[in-house]
Structure 1
C-alpha cells in the first residue's frame, strides 16, 4: 500500500513539471530581487485553489498556489508601488482557464488518493485499537504519530494572500502603543537599517491593559501593515484534555512560523496558558508542560529565526516571570484607558459612518462626547455610537443628533428607563436621596461636578440616577478622597434628616464608601495610626497579623464615622438647598446642569480638567443657539 502511495505521488509530480514554491520564497527569492518576468494565473472555477505560473529570469518557471486571486493581485500591486515602480513597469499578469492537459489525470489521481487515504486511516485505526485496546486518554493522546491530528495547532494565518483590512490609521487614541508596534513592522520591512547599527530583532511584545482598550485591534493593524505571514491563535487553543497536546500544538505553531519567516505570531489571552507555575498549591502538569514548551520556543537553542511573538492579556500580574522577561517579551506595552484627547480621536473614528445632524461638525460631537465619557474604553465608545444610531433609527429621524447621543450615554451608564410606576412615597425618598448626594458634591471641593439628576428608574436596578463628571487627574489627595466619602454618604444622611429613618437604597453607597476607606488605610498609607504602609492582600492570604487586622478595622470604622458626622453637619447647614432641589426634581423628574445651577447657584470652586472643557463647550453651544 505504501509503495502504491509513493508511486501515485511520483506520477503526480511527473504530470506537474514546474517546481512548487511558497509565498515566502516568492517574496524573498524572486519578487524582491526582481527575478520575475511575468505571471500567468490559471483560474479554476470548480475549486478554491488556483495556480500561478511564475516566469523567472533565472531558470525554469515556478508554480505558486493561490487561494484568493483578488487579494494576491492587490498585494502584488501594493508591493510594486512601494518599491517606486510606475504602472508601466509592473510585472505583466495574464489569465488563462485551467489547463486541459492532465485534467482527467488529476481527477483520477484525486479519487485514487482519497481511496488510498481512507484505507490507510482505517488500517492504522484498527492496528492502534488492537495494540492499545482503545485510545487511552491519560497516556498521551498527542503521542506517537498523532493519527487524529490533536497535536496540530488551531492557527489562523494571514499574510500576502489573505488581507487584514485594519491599518494603523484605523487605531485611534493609542499613539504610544502604535509607535512601539510600528517599530516591529519597520524592522521586518527594513532589517538592514537596524542591523547596520548593530540592533537585533526584538523577540516579542506583550500588550497588557483593561478589557476593550484595543489590544487585539493593535495586533490586527500590525497584521494589516506588516506584509509578512501573520499567525493568530488564542491561549485557550493550546488547552486540551489529552496529555501532551498543548506542547505539541506549540511546537507545530512555531514550526509553521519558522518555515515562513520572517513572520509574526499573535497569541490572544495568553494568561490561559502562561500563568505562574506555583508548586506550593499543586499545579496543572499539562498546562506547565505547555508553558515550558512555549518558553523554549521563544528563547532556547535553535531560535535564531525572524519570528516575532505578540501577546495580549488583561491580567499581566498572573503571568510567569520566565515568560515576561527580556529575551522573550522584550517590550511590555501598557494599553490603558484613553484620556480626553484619546477619546476624541476614537469618537472621530466611530462617528465617521454615522449620518450626523449637519448643524454641528463631527469634531464638535467628538469633543463634547469625549468630555462626557471619562473612564470609557474604545469598545464602550463604539457601543455608545452604535446605540445612538439605533435610537435615531427607532425614532424615524433623518440624522443622529445630540439628543440621541445623550440618551445613548445614559443607557450605557445607567441602563434603560423603566416604565413601571412607583409610589409617591418612594419617589419622594429617591428625590431627597439623590438631592443629598448632589448638594454634598456641589459644596465640597473633592466632590465630582454634577451634570444631571433624575428620579426615573433605570434597568440596572437604580431608582434614581445622578451623572457626574470625575476629574481625570492621576493623583488624589487624602482630603479629596474624604470629600468623596462624604458625597457617597450624602444620600443616606439626607434620608435620615428629612424622614427620620433610613432605607436599603444606600446599600451600594455603603459598599463604595468602604472600598475607598479601605484603600486609604491599607494601600495609600494615609492613616496616621497605621502609618506609611501599603499592605499586600490576596484572595486567601493577608500579609499582616490579627492584631493589625483589628487596628485596620477600627481605623476604617473611625474614618467612616468622622465623615458621617461631617456630612450630617453640611446637610443640616444646606437643608434648604436639599429641599428646593428635591421639590424641583419631583416636579420635573430630570434636571440638567442649567436647572441645577438655578437652584444651587454656581459651584463655589474653580473648574478643573474635563469639567472646564465641558463648560467651555456649553458656552460655545449657547452662543451658536442664540445666534
Structure 2
C-alpha cells in the first residue's frame, strides 16, 4: 500500500534534486554578478587612471604590534566562548560515503521501511502539497550494538544524495553551564543551513540516550538509588549542571524548529513589521513564511525504553525501527555478502558450506559475522595460506564462542575425570536431544572452563517445548552422573552445570507453567530463580524436576557406559572433537554390542581435583 502511495509522486525528478539544481544556479548567478562587478571596477579604474588597490596608510610598527597583540587576545577570548558552543558534528558529502543500501544485508524488513522513508524524504514537497501529508522528520533506530544502525543511516544519506551530519550524543556534553544546549542549537542550525544549501540533509545522532534520558527532575536525581545513579552516568551530572531536564527540553524544541526562517527572512519580516505599524489593517504587507527545510533526523540507541516519552511521539521521531539479529536467511545473505569481498577456498562457494556457516551463527549480529570471517582470514594467514577454508571459519567460530585454548598440564587422573565429565554431557545430548547439534567437545582449557560441550538447535527456533527444556536439564546433569557412575563420587566440576539446570528448571516451574502450577513468578519484580526458591511449593516442584532428570540420566548412562567410554578415550587421545567428529565416535560405538553393566565404584580418589567446568 505504501508503494502505491509513493510511486505517483515519484514521477519525474525528486524534489531534493530540483532544489539542489535551483540552489546551484542561484550560487552561479551570485558569483557571476560579483565577477562582473569586479571586472567593471578594474576596467573603469584603468580608463579613469585609478589605482586598483588603494595605498595602505603608514602605521608605526610599535603601534601595530600593540594593536595586533590586543587583537589576538580578544580573538582568543571570543574564540573560546564561541568554540564552546560550536556544533561537534562531522559532515560527510554523499560521494565520501562508501556504503549504500545494497551493502545493508540481512535486515530486509527494516531495509524496506528505510527505502520508503527515503522515497518520502526525496519527494517531501509533492507529498505535502499534492497529497496533504506530513513528511517524516525523525527516525529512531533501536537495536543491539552491531546490528547496522549507523551503517543504514549512512547508506540512506548516500542513497538520497544529501550531506550526512554525524554527531555522537556524548560530544554535546560540556562542563560549562548552558554549553550543552548551545551545542545542540548549533547542530540543528548547521543541519538547517546544509538542507537549504544542498536541497536536503540527513542528521544522525549516535547513542542519543546520553542526552535524552527520561526527565526526572532535580529531586529524583538527588534521591536516586546508587545503582540508578551509576546507571544514568553522565546524564545525571548533566541534569544537575544544566537544570531539570534542560538538555532534553532544548532537544525537544529544536526538533520542532526545522522550519525556522532564515536570517534574511527574519530581517525582512522585522522591517515589514515596523512598516505595518504605520499602515491600516487592509493595507498590511504580508510577511514571509518559513520555508520547509528538507531535513531527516535519525537517532540510534540500544536503550529506547529509557528515552523521554516526549521524544517518541509523532512529529519528532515519527518512526521507530527495531534492528534485531538476522534470521537464518538474513545470515546466509550476510555470509554471501562478506565472502564476496574476502579470499576463500572453493569449498566455501558450495551452498551447503555457506548454509552451515549461517546455521552455526544463530543469534549473531552482522558485525559479529563479519568479524568471524576476518578471524578466519587471520587463521589462514597463520598457516601460510592467502585464502580461508571452512576449517579456518570453524576454528574462528570456536574461539569466538568459548575463547582461546590455553595449555594446561593435568594429572592423569584429573584428565580422565574431565574427559569422562564432558563425555557424559555429550552422550546424554546425543541420546535425548536429536534436534540439537553437537558443535564442540573439548578438554582444552578455555577461559575458566577446563572442558566444555557446545551444542545448539539444529534449526532456528523461537519457542521450546517441555521436552526441549527437560532435555537441557538432563544434558546439564550428564557430567554429574558420569562422574558418579565412573568414580563413585563427584567433584566440584558440576557446580556450573547444576546452576544451569536450576535456571532452566526454574523457567519450567515458575514461568512456563510446565509442572502443574499456573502461577508465573516472572510477574514479580524479583529474579525468577530467587522467587521460585523463596516459595516452598515451587521449590519442591523445582527439586522434583531436577531429581527426575538425574534419575533418568543415571538409567540412561548405566545402559550406555560404552558410549561414554568411547568419547572419553577419543578426548584423551585428541583433546578436542568438533562437529561430526563427536557423532562419528558415538555412532561407531553404538554399533558395537553394549558390555554387561558394571557396578559403579565407591570412594575412588579424585587425585587432587580442584575445579572442573
Counterpart contact for 1:201–1:306, Cα < 8 Å: no
Structure 1 residue 177 corresponds to structure 2 residue 110: yes
User: Contact between 2:146 and 2:365, CA under 8 Å: does it hold in 1?
Assistant: yes
Cα distance, 1:387 vs. partner? 1.0
Map 1:346-365 to 2 at 5 A: 346-361=334-349, 363=351, 365=353
Q: Secondary structure at the match of 1:451?
A: strand
CA distance in 1, matches of 2:548, 2:158: 57
Given the superposition, is the C-alpha separation of residues 564 and 290 from structure 1 closer, same or farther in structure 2, using an over 3 Å criterion? farther
* Mapping of residues 331-350 of structure 1, within 5 Å: 331-350=319-338
Contact 1:238 1:290 in 2 (8 A): no
Once the 2 structures are TM-superposed, how far is the Cα of residue 314 of structure 1 from its aligned partner?
1.7
> Distance between the aligned counterparts of 2:475 and 2:73, measured in 1?
73
In the TM superposition, residue 400 of structure 1 has moved relative to its aligned partner by 1.8
Structure 2 matches for 1:357-506, cutoff 5 A?
357-361=345-349, 363=351, 365-445=353-433, 448-458=436-446, 460-470=447-457, 471-506=459-494
Structure 2 stretches lacking a partner, 5+ long: 1-14, 37-51, 57-62, 223-235, 261-291, 591-613
What is the count of residue pairs matched by the alignment? 498
Instruction: Say if 1:557 and 1:256 are closer, same or farther in 2 by CA, change over 3 A.
Output: farther
Q: Which has the higher contact order (CA 8 A, sep 6+)?
A: 2
Alpha-carbon distance, 1:33 to partner: 8.0
How far is 1:32 from its partner?
4.6
Deviates further, 433-442 or 197-206: 197-206
Map of 2:555 onto structure 1: 569
Deviation per residue, 1:365-417 (Å, 9 max, x gap)? 43231122212211111111111111111111243222211211122112223
Deviation at 1:336, TM superposition (A): 0.9
The structure richer in helix per residue is: 2
Give the Cα separation in 1 of the matches to 2:67 and 2:511.
68
In the TM superposition, 1:89-238 aligns within 5 A as 119-120=70-71, 122-123=73-74, 147=81, 149-160=83-94, 163-195=96-128, 196-238=130-172
Matches of 1:27 and 1:392 in 2, distance apart? 47
How many angstroms apart in 1 are the aligned matches of 2:505 and 2:517?
Answer: 14
Unaligned runs of 5+ in 1: 1-24, 37-53, 64-100, 106-111, 129-144, 605-627
Query: Superposition RMSD on alpha carbons, in Å?
Result: 3.9
Distance in 2, Cα, partners of 1:307 & 1:565: 66
**Number of the residue aligned with 1:601:** 587
Distance in 2, Cα, partners of 1:207 & 1:117: 51
Cα deviation for residue 333 of structure 1 reads 0.9
CA distance in 2, matches of 1:113, 1:506: 84
Structure number, greater radius of gyration: 2
Q: Does 1:31 align with 2:31?
A: no
Q: SS of 1:274's equivalent?
A: coil
Deviation at 1:503, TM superposition (A): 2.5
Whole-angstrom distance in 1 between the partners of 2:468 and 2:154: 41
The verdict on how the C-alpha distance between 1:538 and 1:241 changes in structure 2, with shifts beyond 3 A counting, is farther
Change (3 A) 1:34 1:414: closer
Distance change (3 Å), C-alpha of 1:564 and 1:300: farther
Matched residue, 2:245:
288
1:15-26 alignment, distance < 5 Å: none
Q: Distance in 2 between matches of 1:337 and 1:467?
A: 21
The 1-side partners of 2:84 and 2:363 are apart by 43
SS at match of 1:504: coil
Shift of 1:272: 1.5
Shift of 1:483: 1.6
* SS at structure 2 position matched to 1:512: helix
Distance 1:35 1:320, change over 3 A: closer
2:164–2:204 Cα contact (<8 Å) kept: yes
Deviation at 1:248, TM superposition (A): 1.8
Change beyond 3 A, Cα 1:589–1:56: same
Partner Cα separation in structure 2 for residue 117 and residue 499 of structure 1: 90
Select between 289-298 and 513-522 the one with higher mean Cα deviation: 513-522
Task: Report the counterpart of residue 591 of structure 1 in structure 2.
Answer: 577
TM-score by length of 2: 0.71
Structure 1 residues 125 and 374, CA, compared in 2 at 3 Å: closer, same or farther? closer
Supply the distance in 2 between the matched residues of 1:518 and 1:278 (Cα, whole angstroms): 36
CA displacement 1:512-567 (0-9 Å, x = unmatched): 3333334444444545335256415379xx9x999975655555444434433333
* Residue deviations 1:246-298 (CA, integer Å, cap 9, x gap): 22221111111122223221111112222222357426323832112112222
Partner of 1:198, secondary structure, is coil
For the structure 1 residues 413 and 34, does the alpha-carbon distance in structure 2 shift closer, same or farther, using more than 3 Å as the test? closer
- Structure 1 residues 189-233: Cα deviation after superposition (integer angstroms, max 9, x where no partner): 223453333332112111111221111111121222221222111
Contact 1:55 1:62 in 2 (8 A): no
TM-score normalised by length of structure 1: 0.70
- Could you list the per-position Cα deviations for residues 458-479 of structure 1 after superposition, in whole angstroms to 9, with x for gaps in the alignment? 3x23222433232421112233
